[in-house]
Amino acid sequence: MLNKDTGYLFRPADLIWIEGAREAVNAINDAGHLAFVVTNQSGIARGLYQESDVRRLHAWMAEEFAASGARIDRFEYCPHHPDGVVERYRRTCPRRKPGPGMITDLAAQYDVDLSRSFLVGDKDSDLEAAHRAGIAGYLFEGGNLCAFVKSLLSRHPA
């Protein structure tokens, strides 16, 4: 949760950063944690945009972070939705939050210690996904994301 939820985001021009987002990722990097983004992208299943649009957005975001000295180690997204209009993506998927699949897949691929991991989200489904994956979840309700993340890093040493 690095940007404001403007609904079905897939164009870089429509992204509105949350205050302190880049600095928060930098703080995570400096603390020795891996930084992952896990995002539901039901707009794909709904036929509003393509997976290539999401990959392009994530590549642009990675460049923006790199320009400020921060790094996202991996972007993960789930394009599925049980009510999707695009048949290929119409299904219930364990990777779709509140399912834990994206988190557990990343943990396995990167040999992540879940006891030292945490997720910051802006929805109850984010926190449920974290809980179901066995990691701490924290609800960010506004303000400066970097200050919020720094307050969590002391509880979760790398």
Q: What are phi and psi of 94, to 5 degrees?
A: -70, -10
pLDDT at position 158 over 90: no
Confidence at 115, pLDDT banded by 50, 70, 90: very high
Cβ-based burial of 13 (10 A; exposed 0-12, middle 13-18, buried ≥19): exposed
Q: Which helix (H) or strand (E) holds 75?
A: strand 74-78
Looking up tokens 């945009």 gives 49
Q: What are phi and psi of 37, to 5 degrees?
A: -115, 130
Residues 58-82: b if buried by 16+ CB within 10 A, e if exposed: beebbebbeeeebebebbbbbbbbe
Mean pLDDT of the chain: 97
Domain segments of the chain as ranges: 12-153
Tens digits of residue pLDDT in 29-76: 999 999 999 999 999 999 999 999 999 999 999 999 999 999 999 999
Pick the CATH number of 12-153 from 3.30.420.40, 2.40.50.100, 3.40.50.1000, 3.40.50.2300: 3.40.50.1000
Handedness of CA 49, 55, 56, 62 (dihedral sign): positive
- For residue 30, the model assigns a pLDDT of 97
- For residue 31, the model assigns a pLDDT of 97
Round to whole Å and give the CA distance between 5 and 50: 19
Q: Is residue 41 classed as helix, strand or coil in its secondary structure?
A: coil
- For residue 1, the model assigns a pLDDT of 84
- Please enumerate in sequence order all residues whose Cβ is within 8 A of that of 79, keeping only pairs 6 or more positions apart, or say none: 41, 42, 44, 45, 51, 54, 89
- Strand partners of residue 117: none
Tens digits of residue pLDDT in 134-157: 999 999 999 999 999 999 999 998
